[in-house]
Chain A
């Protein structure tokens, strides 16, 4: 039976009601001529319909049976009394539990990726060779760069790096051949028929199209025979067949370079998130942890194939940060050649400190996607807990996709593009963000968002297990960063006046991020890279100045 409309109740719950969410999650209702809030108040709650992603009607009534017995609208109760009584609006750890419940084996998830496949017919072998010869004529060498997607069509850290490398290599007289899978996948491609593996190929900035592995290897063999120096650089193996890349590695006169942008070489769950929710540390594949993880079954075969590739090639490992290298080398056990740390960007602080108005709430932001591995649930929990606290104001800066945004969080749409690489840094400064909470669920290998926070003049809050983010925050602490033990310490900081005190002591500076040129910078700018380069070229070569190369990279 419908409940009578109560105007006062409507006003009280309005800040906790999300009309758009209500419409989207109740497609069976015709709400064209009715206010969703009125529907919820008079009928919806009785039908178990949730008013927002942050209030679970059925859960509230199930665990608070006194409210169920009183036949009271659970959200009205929560707002009027339940919240101050400390009653939960939804299941404890709801965001993490939703994540666990939606975790699926990657093989199953791969079915959703089928639409991304480039089904064009492959290029003729002669055309591949002609294009390769034309692109490498009068070039000192060819870098064969491998990653999980077409860097020119997608945005992201690895994609940017591949682009930077192309331009840096071209400046140094080399050409870049980029290989990605024609059928992108969230895991390694099946190992069958490596000769027929379909690469999506880009030569320099031009897309060559689809090339079969055997045709590519034949063409590379010819140009190699003709004296061209080759270097294989693997940024990522997702969607690829290591077996199809092995003949490429064997054509070169030196081991390939393998980057550890994440931990895909340790597990198909590249952030090492067990059940997509908790950092696992890459335990032994037969362990109990792998036994209960949705990625456990896939991992055994994945590791066997990667070990075979590493054993055959003994690659040089480049890590984007000290912490990425430390974790990778401690956990991998994979055979390798030399290993080096090559940061992807450098932060240079401006000399003048940021001046903030002292008579407004502290502005706290999550920047980037609202994803579990980026720490969104922790930020969301903070916002739900302290959203009405007059000391704080909460923001999310980034694209609007992902989990819902709780009331009291202002969503600011920011998109970093090739044309606007500093969009996030500028947005942080423009919105006067004081604090960025960067609380990743895994040890980030190189987190642009953390650097953007610092460059935008914000204070960086993170935890000990955040990898490169922890290192950066420790580096700028106590002026502009703080590394906390755990979530309890984070909540305690907000509850007491710890954050206000930390900010009062802080001296924040804006700054700029300078890209470092990736493999090209390492190859042309370091002694170890120079040694490899001479080996590839088969002859001593003049070492380019580091400064010149950084200049190139900065231009990119």
Chain B
């Protein structure tokens, strides 16, 4: 059987989520190699030992083949940067000889075997999961879901599977290169991080498979058309299919309002949410300062506002003047 490599990408703030992903992936795919692409550095007093984690390896952002790191990182906020590295990480694994590579967002938990999906990579080069696979018919749901997909992307890039074929590698390189330059949350400009780019994938590449099995990538944005149920046989289903993985996209109060809007009068979704929160609590890292992100502040500790990042990425003169904007400091970027 060909070897499957899986990776996720996150900062330490999402370490609890990475751990739940790892724990649940291990249960269903103990043979997959799981990599953690770490877009962060340890804060003082915080120890991270990969050997203690249920992962096969950690690749730090500094180890990836990326544009000059400091200015490139500075241009991105945490969500943008964690997604911008995904193309480079995918290429790294494919270049290392992986037959099949799967990306899963850290806020995903795996509930069933994905063997069927992996099997599809024998016929196809890229597998994508759309946010929705069935039309909505309620005005609110059309707005929340279908119009949401038109804004933020048809396919949810919390999941991606790519074969190590020539075509798969071609796709990976294209995606990596676009993310180097244009992985921003700029919806009015037609960009939304790594995700919106993949709207183009079926047009630009052969072998792109749209996986419409409702058991994959279940989340608030598709619950309206796939009820989550739990049978007396113990099987958790989404629509008529066994649940493969759930994307716990927001575990906040506002995320819960979206879930309850589409829970369809059933408690199962709240059971899943409670289970997920309790697993997060069990995996919460000790001694991690609240809101920590190593690239969220200047060298002197001042937070980097989003406006500074935008200004820096729009101004080639600033980039030339300050090749290390973190060291340059807030005043330099603000006044520059």
Chain A residues with a Cβ under 8 A of chain B: 62-63, 91-93, 96-97, 100-101, 103, 274-275, 277-278, 280-284, 287-294
Contacts and interface: CB of A to CB of B under 8 A. Distances in A.
B251 to A, nearest CB: 13
Q: Which 9 residue pairs across A and B have the least CB separation, nearest first?
A: A287-B234, A283-B234, A281-B232, A292-B275, A289-B234, A288-B236, A96-B267, A100-B274, A275-B271
A284 B265 CA distance: 26
Interface in B212-261: 230-236, 242-243, 253-254, 257, 260
A101 to B, nearest CB: 6
B164 interface: no
A355 B48 CA distance: 76
Contacts of A92: 260, 263, 265
A100 B234 contact: no
A298 to B, nearest CB: 14
Contact of B235 (A93, A96, A97, A288): A288
Nearest to B279: A292
B112 interface: yes
Interface string B262-276: 010101101110110
A277 B267 contact: yes
A287 B233 contact: yes
B111 A291 contact: yes
B164 to A, nearest CB: 31
A528 B111 CA distance: 47
A162 B127 CA distance: 63
Interface in B13-58: 27
A274 B270 contact: no
Contacts of A274: 230, 271
Given A62-B257, A93-B267, A289-B235, A101 B274 contact: yes
Interface string B303-328: 00000000000000000000000000
Contacts of A278: 230, 267-268, 271
Contacts of A288: 111-112, 230, 234-236, 242-243
B265 A290 contact: no
5 contacts: A93-B260, A274-B230, A287-B234, A288-B234, A290-B234
Contacts of A93: 260, 263, 265, 267, 270
B234 A280 contact: yes
A442 B243 CA distance: 25
Instruction: State the main secondary structure of chain A at its contact with B.
Output: loop
Contacts of B230: 274, 278, 280, 288-289
Nearest to A278: B267
B232 A280 contact: yes
Indicate the member of B111, B265, B271 with the most A CB atoms within 10 Å.
B271
A278 to B, nearest CB: 6
Nearest to B277: A101
Contact of B274 (A62, A275, A282): A275
Contacts of B232: 280-283
Contacts of B234: 280, 283-284, 287-290
A293 B260 CA distance: 20
Contacts of B27: 291
Contacts of A283: 231-235
A293 B267 CA distance: 13
Nearest to A92: B260
A488 to B, nearest CB: 9
Q: Which of B236, B243, B265, B270 has the most CB of A within 10 A?
A: B270
Interface string B155-187: 000000000000000000000000000000000
A284 B233 CA distance: 7
Contact of B271 (A63, A100, A282): A100
B192 to A, nearest CB: 25
Nearest to A96: B267
Contacts of B278: 294
A40 to B, nearest CB: 22
B158 to A, nearest CB: 20
A288 B110 CA distance: 10
Given A287-B233, A289-B231, 4 more contacts: A92-B260, A288-B111, A292-B236, A292-B271
Contacts of A101: 274
Contacts of A284: 233-234
Nearest to B267: A96
Contacts of B242: 288
Contacts of B275: 275, 291-293
Contacts of A62: 253-254, 257
Contacts of B236: 288-289, 292
Contact of B267 (A63, A100, A290): A100
Contacts of B111: 288, 291
Contacts of B112: 288
Interface in B183-200: none
A67 B279 CA distance: 36
Nearest to A99: B267
Nearest to A284: B234
Contacts of B267: 93, 96-97, 100, 277-278
